[in-house]
A and B are shown apart, each in its own frame.
Chain A
């Protein structure tokens, strides 16, 4: 069991010097000294206080932190939805200044368009990007197969269970073949058992798409189960207080979570969360 602090951990070998742009591979993400303060009616509210983070191509990073630690904010900065006051976000060495087609986002709520069928929700990003109908339909078949949603094309979101809806949202996030997938507590609304199953499926999905993933979670076991590394954010303004490697082989199995050696990692994460 290797537990390394952010300070002692060597920089991951994905500095911006050698951008990889093989589209079949995940993207390298570099977050440098990102600061962001929200200007609210009640005065400035600092959200991110200098976040630095590296994600290697194809790596899965679990982002964990107390409520209001800016996890979702950080995800939005990486996804180009929020512009940081200071610092940079680089995707394969390219600076992110706005929403990027190489980045797919799945939000906490599915955010499906209720007036559209499953098929037209999944192909919505392709439609916006100006794909032809034939290309959209071909891609739809592939993406639905990826998330096991074949046969639901004509259904309306209201007819689906919460889990199915989240799956549609995931399919939509994958539609443009992103090389970085940002997941904001994507399964938090699901019951514990469904959630475990979805986490397994997510990892299987990941092994097939090889996208890099940053997943925000509230759950320590989930963070360990999904991540190659668990990054712990402090309470607001969020900073990285720990960056812990998960010494678990892949493919991951649910039983692996019972492994006693992981309890020390879980304890370390809990310690950092409590201290932050």
Chain B
């Protein structure tokens, strides 16, 4: 990252905090409705040093990472199949779209009912929400690979596998990574929603605990900030991978 980019990101952050503070001051909101940024920041540091956030963060991260891996893996395979087989597209499309159109919030309790409070159900919810954007991005990406390049590969007697690894994957990569940008942020949503359906640990659980049981609104906001930071960090990782893989084109 260039110094200039860093400065502009820092400036955006400062402006955001100032706007937040201004809303609190001008609106005159009490801390149990909207705590000021310094109170949230203070509570975040305190909760972190007391070790309140870490176990919840670890649980949520585990759900996100596994859910993203499963959902992205399935999305890649399905997207490729959809791109290369008209039959598969016709057969699968209605189900895939139906699964995506059903709100994950409505689906989460059902999956909880089937899979219980353990990790598999949460990973599944996460994977479900990640699956769609990555499957679509992969399908679009693979379809966009120049047919001329595939013919070139054939003329050079490339095997099916060589065409996949040297032409289709690199050709579809920009689109796939675009899908992953969307997918990774949705993975965070999926993890929180899955925790709300029933869990003993996780940032989603902590949000509810802070609000309902502890009535510690600054902690609730501190948890929300943590969730946002997790999302930003994961997104940044995808962007970095993207720069690394396709930046030089």
Contact present for A113 and B170 (CB under 8 Å): yes
B166 interface hit (Cβ, 8 Å): yes
Residues A111 and B162 in contact, CB atoms below 8 Å apart? no
How far apart are the CA atoms of A129 and B157 in the complex, in Å? 8
With A99-B157, A111-B148 already in contact, the answer to whether A156 and B166 are too (CB < 8 A) is no
- Say yes or no: A81 contacts B157, CB within 8 Å: no
Q: A156-B248, A158-B249 are in contact. Are A105 and B166 (CB under 8 A)?
A: no
Asked whether B15 is an interface residue with its Cβ less than 8 Å from the other chain, the reply is: no
Q: Tell yes or no: A87 within 8 A of B by CB.
A: no
Total A residues in contact with B, Cβ cutoff 8 Å: 21
8 Å CB interface, A106-129 against B: 107, 109, 111, 113-115, 124-125, 127-129
- A79: interface (CB < 8 Å): yes
The answer to the question of A23 belonging to the interface, with a C-beta cut-off of 8 Å to chain B, is no
**A128-B166 in contact given A79-B155, A99-B156 (Cβ < 8 Å):** yes
Q: Are A128 and B149 in contact (CB under 8 A)?
A: no
Quick check: is A221 within 8 A (CB to CB) of the other chain? no
Closest residue of chain A to B157 (Cβ to Cβ) is A99
- The yes or no answer to A151 lying at the interface (CB within 8 A) is no
A247 CB to nearest chain B CB (Å): 34
In the bound complex, CA of A98 to CA of B155 (Å)? 8
Q: Using CB atoms, name the residue of chain B closest to A157.
A: B249
Q: Say yes or no: A128-B246 contact (C-beta < 8 A), given A107-B148, A111-B152.
A: no
B158 within 8 A of A: yes
B67 CB, nearest partner CB in chain A, Å: 30
Task: Check A68 for interface membership: any CB of B closer than 8 A.
Answer: no
Q: Which residues of A contact B246 (CB under 8 A)?
A: 115
Tell me if A128 and B170 are in contact (CB < 8 A). Answer: no
Contact with A along B162-198 (1 / 0, CB 8 A): 1000110011010000000000000000000000000
**Smallest CB–CB gap between A224 and chain B, Å?**
28
B155-A81 in contact (CB<8A) = yes
Mostly helix, strand, loop or mixed at chain A's interface?
A: loop
Q: Is the CB of A125 within 8 A of B156?
A: yes
Q: Does B151 contact A (CB under 8 A)?
A: yes
Question: Chain A, 92-108, contact with B by CB distance < 8 Å: what is the 0/1 string?
Answer: 00000011110001010
Contact of A99 among B148, B155, B162, B171 (CB under 8 A): B155
Q: Which residues of B contact A125 (CB under 8 A)?
A: 156
**Number of A-B residue pairs with CB-CB distance less than 8 Å in the complex they form:** 49
Judge whether B170 and A115 touch: CB under 8 Å.
yes
> How close is B192's CB to chain A, nearest CB, in angstroms?
36
- Per the 8 Å Cβ criterion, residues 196-241 of B in contact with A are none
Q: Is the CB of B249 within 8 A of A114?
A: yes
Bound together, the chains give a CA A127 to CA B248 distance in angstroms of 21
A88 to B158, CA, bound (A): 23
Chain A positions within 8 Å of B151 at CB level: 81, 107, 111
Q: Give the interface centre of A127, A128, A129, A156 by most chain B CB atoms within 10 Å.
A: A128
How many whole Å from A140's CB to the nearest CB in chain B?
16
Contacts of A100 in B (CB 8 A): 157
Whether B146 is near chain A, meaning CB under 8 Å from some CB there, is yes
- Residue on A nearest B146 in the bound complex, by CB: A111
Nearest chain-B residue to A79 (Cβ)? B155
Tell me, yes or no, whether B84 is within 8 Å of chain A by CB.
Answer: no
A105 surroundings in chain B (CB, below 8 A):
152, 155
Could you tell me if A101 and B148 are in contact, using CB atoms closer than 8 angstroms? no
Bound CA–CA A158/B167 (angstroms) = 17
Interface residue B154 (Cβ < 8 Å from any Cβ of A): yes
User: CA A81 – CA B248 in complex, angstroms?
Assistant: 32
Chain A residues contacting B148 (CB-CB under 8 Å) are 107, 109, 111
> Which residue from chain B places its CB closest to the CB of A108 in the assembled complex?
B148
CA distance A79 to B154 in the complex (A): 10
Q: How far is the CA of A233 from the CA of B161 in the complex (A)?
A: 38
> Which chain B positions have C-beta within 8 A of A156?
248-249
Q: Which residues of chain B are within 8 angstroms of A98 by Cβ–Cβ distance?
A: 157
Which residue in chain A gives the minimum CB-CB distance to B170? A115
Additional A-B contact list (13), CB under 8 Å, known A99-B155, A115-B248, A125-B156: A79-B155, A81-B154, A81-B155, A111-B148, A111-B149, A111-B152, A115-B171, A124-B156, A128-B153, A128-B158, A128-B166, A129-B156, A129-B157
20 contacts between A and B (CB under 8 A): A79-B155, A81-B154, A100-B157, A107-B148, A107-B151, A111-B149, A113-B149, A113-B170, A114-B249, A115-B173, A115-B249, A125-B156, A127-B166, A128-B156, A128-B157, A128-B158, A128-B166, A129-B156, A129-B157, A158-B249
**The 10 nearest A-B residue pairs measured at CB:** A125-B156, A111-B152, A99-B157, A111-B148, A128-B158, A105-B155, A99-B155, A115-B170, A128-B156, A115-B249
